[in-house]
A and B are shown apart, each in its own frame.
Chain A
């Protein structure tokens, strides 16, 4: 309870970025939840006589080359794009934290092997590597998630391992060993809670860029397949008609930009909030 109250106290302190971020992501969440009720048209229903209608009263965002309503597709697309991004971040954060903690905690040979692997993965540009894996696995939503996770976990592993190595020498870890905690207990009760805040900050900062990764891979045709309205796919569809139907790319592009911005702002805000120096400064006043 106290933590929640503290949290709101800190919000009062004109943390505009965080509030804006939360507002934007909150709206996104509402849209994802209530998507079916918000759509005025069936997002997959084609009607060739309605194609390329520019934004007007009936179709706020216009229609695409198949006569589908773009607003409905953008709303429906939020379900695909955002859930993919969140799934990617959660899976890779869990995987990376686990591997990093174990690696840093036990050290030795396994740590060396794992960290060289991490170095290799970090040496490639993320998107290129994800592209390679995704081509290998084939197209589809699930494969897209796996591909990005394969690349993304290393970031969390790095952080978790670094933290674990720092913690290993802390006095309270030695004290815990002296009172008979097993390795499993140490990892679960001592290392994990002390690392999780750092990881959470990274997660909230990363979601924005993951949305962009997902969109770019979908744009290249490696993610969700055409009838399902993914934002990346929509831009990809629209690029051929850019000259006389720019709204086809504009609105999904805006959706990507706004959601990435929202998550980034929230991430920044959360980082400032959880940064211990910052937090102490707020609490001591």
Chain B
């Protein structure tokens, strides 16, 4: 089943570029108020850019493509070429788009900023006035609104501003007016944060930005110098990103993802398993745990078909045997109760209702293996009933519950890509698996049912459902009070796929959802924002991997270690081009 994140960013490249264009318009607003006759000239330059871009895109893609980035190019170009004849501006912006963008392969593939290339070309052959950076309060809104764009290339933007500040110190020219005068904030935030032409690398970005800022400030008043220095920086970034060392691939801390369920919504439980036993609400009796030998426990687990309930569905007895065989002196047992996927609620529900059984399952594991440390890992936001095991609170982010990430958080041990935790003496079991261990060993019950979360993402409600393995997913959804819509199923809200006829609840399914289809528009325009790389918890070069997969170059994609991918879906969630990048990385992994 092809999976993807049901949660998507509301932003897209087109929206970002529209926002940039809005900021440019805000910047020009004071001059339009003073000289309304300049508005038609601006509109003519923008129209010329849109026309040029549309025609070239139509030739390239054979379908209409949003041209708002061309409007931004026109805006930057217009501001930086004051006092130039209109026909020169129109011809200049068209030539800039052709030579600075489309000759390189179109949007997202150009190594240099097309507007600045056009400015430099005109500045070298024609006399050109310096742009108007006269300090005035009416310019403040545009400056303030430009600040959020720093997020795209923070190191380059910060370097640019630091370079300008250093130059001001050198020139003994202080005061807030000078910042405005030289447009430091504005150009630092807009041009030096262009993800297409500026590298995301911290050192290169900061150093290059500082150089560009210092040169621009020291030779103030010359647009040509500023454009030239930024273009040199663009070329260095292009070469560095193409040829320098790849990202390290170390695990990074993830980021919180908003839950899909309204926080105050009541959680209802539905038992669709047709089992006669009822889930005890607030069990008071202690679950009796007779003494079992290791062999008895493992035999019962195998006989009753207990597998990992977190989604991997690996045979639990086999995993325990690996831990027993491990030559490590100290052995560890981590009960994974983190439930980091933003769509899941059933593990928390189970802990609230069946902690006695879970604790009994933990005791059984302790009878089986002499663990040095036993820890139950829960989110820092979760409070659990007292149980006779240590509790480790982990930060609330996604994917804190990924096996190796959890080991790092709880034990402080970094395992490399090829390492299997069980072979290192570390047993990590999902909390529902521990519950299933209790049922299989003490009650001698086959693991034919499981608890899952069924969510209605249209109404932000969710239910905990106990269902039989093998149950038809559509039939399960039909039995619940859900709004009509598409049905998705998978490991969680971040790893879901379309449900087709005859799809059943198997050991990998933890989550069923009714939702609108997430907005994967699969745009041809990647802006190289790098959010996919930044949000990958494994630090993979997702953008490069997906690029090579699309080109059919799987061998090259393999160099970026797609086998380390956790399939968490974070890259798909944040992609501004609306691409399902996780599926591309999976293709590289399988290829």
A and B, one complex?
Answer: no
Q: Please report B residues at the A interface, Cβ cutoff 8 Å.
A: none
